[in-house]
Structure 1
Amino acid sequence: MDPRPTPAGGEELATRVLSALAGLFVLFLVLWAGLLLILPALFLVFLLGTLELKEMLARRGIALNLPFLLGGGGLLFLFSLPPLYWHFPQVPWREVALGLFLMGSLSYELLKGADLTRFAFTLFAFLYLPWSLGYVLLLRETPDSALGLWTLSLPLVASFATDIGAYFVGRTFGQRKLAPEISPGKTVEGSLGGIAVSFLALALYTGLVREVFPFGLLELWLFSLLLSLAAQLGDLVESMLKRYCGVKDSGRFLPGHGGLLDRIDSLLFTFPLTYFLVVLFT
Structure 2
Amino acid sequence: MEGRDDLPTRVLSALVGVLLLLWVLWGGLALILPTLVFVLWLGSLELRDMLAKRGIRLNLPFLVGGGVLLFLFSLPQLYWHFPQVPWREVALGLFLLGSFSYELLRGADLTRFAFTLMAFLYLPWSLGYVLLLREIPDSTLGLWTLSLPLVASFATDIGAYFVGRTLGRQKLAPEISPGKTVEGSLGGIAVSFLALALYTGLVREVFPFGLLELWLFSLLLSLAAQLGDLVESMLKRYCGVKDSGHFLPGHGGLLDRIDSLLFTFPLTYFLVVLFT
With the length of structure 1 as denominator, give the TM-score of the two structures.
0.97
2:159 is matched with 165
Q: Which amino acid aligns with 2:116?
A: T
Residue 187 of structure 2 aligns to a residue whose secondary structure is helix
Counterpart Cα distance in 2 of 1:204 and 1:105 = 46
1:46 and 2:40 correspond: yes
Tell me by how many angstroms 1:104 deviates: 0.6
After superposition, where does 1:258-269 map in structure 2 within 5 Å?
A: 258-269=252-263
2:214 is matched with 220
| % identity of equivalent residues | 87
Counterpart Cα distance in 2 of 1:234 and 1:11 = 28
Deviations 1:89-133 (A, max 9, x none): 000000000000001101111111010000000000000000000
1:154 and 2:145 correspond: no
Tell me by how many angstroms 1:230 deviates: 0.1
Counterpart Cα distance in 1 of 2:210 and 2:164 = 29
Q: Which amino acid aligns with 2:99?
A: S
Please point out which of 20, 33, 46 is paired with 2:14.
Answer: 20
Q: Which amino acid aligns with 1:78?
A: L
2:193 is matched with 199
Please point out which of 94, 98, 107 is paired with 1:100.
Answer: 94
1:186 is matched with 180
Residue 178 of structure 2 aligns to a residue whose secondary structure is strand
Please point out which of 111, 115, 120 is paired with 1:117.
Answer: 111
Q: Which amino acid aligns with 1:45?
A: V
1:241 and 2:241 correspond: no
Counterpart Cα distance in 1 of 2:25 and 2:134 = 8
Q: Which amino acid aligns with 1:21?
A: L
Q: Which amino acid aligns with 1:86?
A: W
Counterpart Cα distance in 2 of 1:16 and 1:220 = 31
Tell me by how many angstroms 1:10 deviates: 2.2
2:52 is matched with 58
Counterpart Cα distance in 1 of 2:201 and 2:7 = 31
1:31 and 2:31 correspond: no
1:252 is matched with 246
Q: Which amino acid aligns with 2:58?
A: L
1:3 is matched with none
1:145 and 2:139 correspond: yes
Counterpart Cα distance in 1 of 2:198 and 2:133 = 21
**Structure 1 stretches of 5 or more lacking a match?**
1-5
Deviation beyond 4 Å, 4+ runs, structure 1: none
Tell me by how many angstroms 1:149 deviates: 0.3
Deviations 1:143-164 (A, max 9, x none): 0001000000000000000000
**Structure 2 stretches of 5 or more lacking a match?**
none
2:128 is matched with 134
1:81 is matched with 75
Residue 42 of structure 2 aligns to a residue whose secondary structure is helix
1:271 and 2:265 correspond: yes
Q: Aligned pairs, how many?
A: 276
Residue 185 of structure 1 aligns to a residue whose secondary structure is strand
The range that moved more, 8-17 or 105-114, is 8-17
